[in-house]
Amino acid sequence: MKNFLAFITVLVLGYMIVVSLDNNEAFPAYGEADVSSRVSQAFIDRSVTEDPGDIIFGQATNLESGPANIVTAIVADYRSFDTLGEVTVLFVSSLGVALLLGGKKQKRLELNFHPNFMLRVGSRALFGIILMTGVYIAIHGHLTPGGGFPGGAMIASSMLLLYLADDEFRAKIKGFKMLESFAGTAYVLIGLTGLLLGGYFLENLLDNGVIGDLFSAGIIPIVYVLIGLKVGSEISGIIDNFLTEEGV
């Protein structure tokens, strides 16, 4: 009975929200978002500081923010402070998971599933490929969709594959900790150098090169690779914490 009541209230609420959004004249209907009246038009035209005019893929050089993928431009350049906050969220949650679950000397969780030989070897081979695609996505963040976070997730999924495929496998947590700390410190230090040299925190110091090239968009690929590594190591750390337990 209580569930039914809750269902009715939720239904009514949903209906009310939909109706209120429909006849709210300020809220654009689905699909009719007028981007030109929004802040993001400047991101598309890269015209926040000065208007570079028409941007042609492969020809426009040293725009105010280099990446061809405008979403990466926003995530890693225009609003890269969010991403810094973003990375700290993951950092804290992995730290927290380690605090909550991490014990003294950990050992793998006794699962009643024991992988056979074929799975163990096959997963080794597959691990390499997944890792490579993860790194590829992280590196090409400024050109193709994806970037640091999806790349990091891919890297972590490769670790997860190993954990699942082999019940004795344990990654070197100490290594992940080092990598995570290194990537985080590097990211903040890049920001601080931006502050010292360019006058603004996280400023894009290196020149942006030609839009569309691999080595373009200044510090953004570097930042994204660092993020990829950091996210990968953090999520693998979380996976390791969940799949291990107290004991010798």
Partner 1 sequence: MTVELLILVALASGILAYFVGRLNKVLGAVVTIVASMFIFIMIGYMMQDINAGTTFNYNAVEYMPDFVTFMVTYLGLFFAILVTFIFAMVSFFNPFFVEKYKYPALYSMLYLFSLAGVLGVFLTDNFMVLFFFFEFIVWSGLFLIPLGKNNKAAISYYAFSTAGSFALLYAIFIMFAQTGSYNLHLGLATVSGTTEGTYVLALLAFAAFAKLGAFPLNVWLPRALGKAPDAITAVFSGGLEKLGAFVAVLALVKLAPIGDIAGTLGGLTEATFLFASQYIVATLGAMTIVFGTLMAIRQDDAKKLLAYSSMSNGGYILVALSLGGTLGLSGGLYHIVAHALASAAAFLAIGAVSRVTGTTKMSELGGMIHKMPVTYMVYLIAIISMAGIPPMGGFISKWLIFQAVIDNGLILIAVAVFFGSIGSFLYVFRPLAALFLGQELPQHRDKAKEAPFFMLLPMLILSGLIVFTGVMPNIFLDFINDVIAELGGTGLLLGDYTITGVNGVLQPTLIASVFGVGVLIAFIIFILLKKSKKVGLMDTYTAGNFIYTEELMHYSLDFYAPLERLYEKHINITKDFYKKLENKVVDFGRMIKYFFFTNKPEITVFWIIVLIGFLLWGEL
Partner 2 sequence: MLQYAAIAMLMLGLYGLLTQRNIIKIIVSINILEIGLNLFIVSVGYVEGGIAPILTSDFNNNGLVFVDPLPSALVLTAIVIGVGTTALGLALAKNIYQKYGTFEIDEMGEE
Partner 3 sequence: MSAILLIAVPLLAAFISILFKKYAHYILVFVSFASVFALGYMDLGTITVGGFNAPFGIVLILDDYSLIALYIVNTLFFLVAILNCNEFKKVGSIMLVALAGLNGLLLTGDLFNLFVFLEVAGIAAYLITTTNKKPLASFNYLIQGTVGSSLYLLGLILLYAMFGTLNMADMASSIANSGYGAGVTAFPFLLMFIGFGVEAKLLPFNSWTKGILANSNRLTGPMIASVYAAAIGFVFGRLLTNVFVIEDTFLIIVTIILIFSVVAGEAMAYASTKVREILLYSSVAQAALVVVVFMSGFTGWAVYLIIGNAAAKLVLFLITNTATKQLGNDDVETFKGLFVNNKVIGLAFTAVTLSVIGLPMFLGFVTKMNILENMFVSGDYIWPAIILITSVVEGIYFIRLLLNLWYKENDLPEVKFEFVLKYVVVIIAVLIMVFGVYTEPVQDSADNLVAYSYIEGGNL
Binding site for partner 3 (CB under 8 A): 17, 20-21, 24-28, 33, 37-40, 42-43, 48-49, 64, 77-82, 84-86, 88-89, 91-93, 95-96, 99-100, 177-178, 180-181, 184-185, 188-189, 191-192, 194-195, 198-204
Tell me which residue of 218, 204, 127 sits closest to 166, measured CA to CA.
127
- The residue (of 7 and 81) whose beta carbon lies closer to partner 1 is 7
- Beta-strand pair 107-108/244-245: antiparallel
> 8, 10, 35, 48: which one contacts partner 1 (CB under 8 A)?
10
* Interface mask toward partner 2 for 207-236; x: CB under 8 A: ----xx------------------x---x-
Query: Are the C-beta atoms of 202 and 84 separated by less than 8 Å?
Result: yes
Tell me which residue of 166, 234, 225, 150 sits closest to 190, measured CA to CA.
225
Query: Are the C-beta atoms of 160 and 243 separated by less than 8 Å?
Result: no
Cα separations in angstroms, 16 against 4, 101, 118: 18, 43, 56
Q: How many chain residues interact with partner 1 (CB under 8 A)? A: 9
Tell me which residue of 87, 86, 76, 82 sits closest to 204, measured CA to CA.
76
Q: What's the min distance (Å) between Cβ of 19 and partner 1? A: 5
Tell me which residue of 126, 133, 237 sits closest to 178, measured CA to CA.
237
Chosen from partner 2, partner 3, partner 1, none, partner binding at 209 (C-beta under 5 to 8 Å by type): none
> 1, 23, 25, 89: which one contacts partner 2 (CB under 8 A)?
89
Computed on alpha carbons and rounded to an integer, the radius of gyration of the chain in Å comes to 23
Q: What's the min distance (Å) between Cβ of 4 and partner 1? A: 15
Query: Are the C-beta atoms of 143 and 73 separated by less than 8 Å?
Result: no
Asked if 8 is part of the footprint of partner 1 (rule: CB under 8 A), the reply reads no
Q: What's the min distance (Å) between Cβ of 144 and partner 2? A: 7
d(CA 180, CA 31): 40
Chosen from partner 1, partner 3, partner 2, none, partner binding at 119 (C-beta under 5 to 8 Å by type): none
CA dihedral 92, 98, 99, 105 (to 10 degrees): -160
230: which 2 tokens?
């950091």
Given the rule CB under 8 A, which residues bind partner 2? 2-3, 6-7, 9-11, 13-14, 17-18, 21, 30-33, 35, 38-40, 43-46, 54-58, 68-71, 73-75, 79, 82-83, 85-86, 89-90, 92-94, 96-97, 100-101, 143-145, 147, 149, 211-212, 231, 235, 238, 241-242
Given the rule CB under 8 A, which residues bind partner 1? 9-10, 12-13, 16-17, 19-20, 23
